[in-house]
Structure 1
Amino acid sequence: MSLSMYQASIPVFIRALNVLTTLLQKGAQHAKEQGLPPESLLEARLAPDMFNLVEQVQRASDTSKGSAERLSGVPAPRMPDTEKTFEELSQRVAKTVDYLESLDPARFEGSETRTVLLPVGGDTRLEFQGDDYLLSFGLPNFYFHVTTAYDILRHRGVQVGKRDFLGVIGKRLAVGA
């Protein structure tokens, strides 16, 4: 059986968004334990011209929703970028996961050859075939923002590592199984 566009996108997005939720929880806990104002993490960025943590989470949400919408044809919920707390960001991620979980895999059938037009400013749009869009833009862009959110937290002293970023992996087997 071949890998479907649904399998290559939706479970991948959901898994990484769940990791992002865990990272946000660890960030909030770190701020509390260290007596730091949460804004010191939420407004942190890796470089002056990069988005801060809040914006990285918003873009990860938007990229996963937008990719799913473009491939499935099912409108994604619109979310104004008004989050200012760890709790609000976690709620946004949860709403994004709810949308992704609501999608019927059948809606993705044939999406590998569907034309995807991506606005890039003004009247300019990039044109992709569905599979190329997902593999060369959707997933890389999504992981860029999730990874940058992780990097911001780690750079600011939150105790997260590779296992936190990878989340639950594989199936655990009992010794001797």
Structure 2
Amino acid sequence: MTLSMYQASVPVFLRALNNLQHVLRRGEAHAEARKYDASLLLQGRLTVDMLPLTRQVQIATDMAKNGCARLAGVDPLKFEDNEASFAELHARIERAVDYIKSFQPEQIDGSETRAVTIKTRNGEQHFEGQGYLLHFVIPNLFFHCTAAYAILREAGADLGKADFIGKA
């Protein structure tokens, strides 16, 4: 049996975002247990030239929701990138999850050769759907989820591999 584009994208995106939601909750609980302002974690980063936690979550959600939309051949839903609290980050993830769940297999399946053009800070990048999914969206999604995990872990949150991977 072959793996469809929908199977290779939507379930992967949903699991990554649900696990990211869990990791954020653990980070927030850590701040509460230590009795410090949880918003301090939102600007946390591992090094000075790294994007902060808030931006890592924003990019992760953008990768997943925009990936679905582009594979389906529709304009992605835009988010404002103005989250300033854990509650707002949780709401963003929930909106992204709801949006991703709205896509049906028939919208994404068959998108292996669909032309996808994205604008990045380095200019336009052109892909075919399968390459876009496997070589751009999935690596970027996991990079930013991993960065968010690492920021919170370094800050002392009680996190381990099982929190990142989630339940099978």
Category of TM-score, reference length = shorter chain: over 0.9
**TM-score of the superposed pair, with normalisation by structure 2:** 0.96
Matches within 5 A, 1:131-142: 131-142=130-141
1:21 alignment partner in structure 2 = 21
Q: Secondary structure at the match of 1:153?
A: helix
The alignment yields a C-alpha RMSD, in angstroms, of 1.1
Q: Name the aligned partner's letter for residue 143 of structure 1.
A: F
Q: Secondary structure at the match of 2:120?
A: strand
Deviation at 1:100, TM superposition (A): 0.5
1:38 alignment partner in structure 2 = 38
Q: Name the aligned partner's letter for residue 9 of structure 1.
A: S
1:82 alignment partner in structure 2 = 82
Aligned pair count reads 168
1:174 alignment partner in structure 2 = none
CA distance in 2, matches of 1:162, 1:121: 32
Deviation at 1:76, TM superposition (A): 3.1
CA distance in 1, matches of 2:133, 2:13: 11
1:147 alignment partner in structure 2 = 146
For structure 2, list consecutive stretches of 5 or more residues without a partner in the other structure: none
CA offset digits 1:103-129 (Å, max 9, x no partner): 11100122001111121247x311111
CA offset digits 1:142-170 (Å, max 9, x no partner): 1000000000000000000000011012x
Deviation at 1:60, TM superposition (A): 0.3
2:101 alignment partner in structure 1 = 101
2:110 alignment partner in structure 1 = 110
Q: Name the aligned partner's letter for residue 150 of structure 2.
A: D
Runs of 4+ with deviation above 6 angstroms: none
Between structure 1 and structure 2, the one with the greater Rg is 1
CA distance in 2, matches of 1:135, 1:57: 20
The percentage of counterpart residues that share the same residue type is 45
CA contact (8 A) 1:60 1:142 kept: yes
CA distance in 1, matches of 2:166, 2:10: 16
CA distance in 2, matches of 1:108, 1:44: 36
Q: Name the aligned partner's letter for residue 2 of structure 2.
A: S
CA offset digits 1:28-64 (Å, max 9, x no partner): 1111110111122111001111110000000001111
**TM-score of the superposed pair, with normalisation by structure 1:** 0.91
CA distance in 2, matches of 1:99, 1:126: 24
CA distance in 2, matches of 1:121, 1:29: 35
1:10 alignment partner in structure 2 = 10
CA distance in 1, matches of 2:102, 2:126: 27
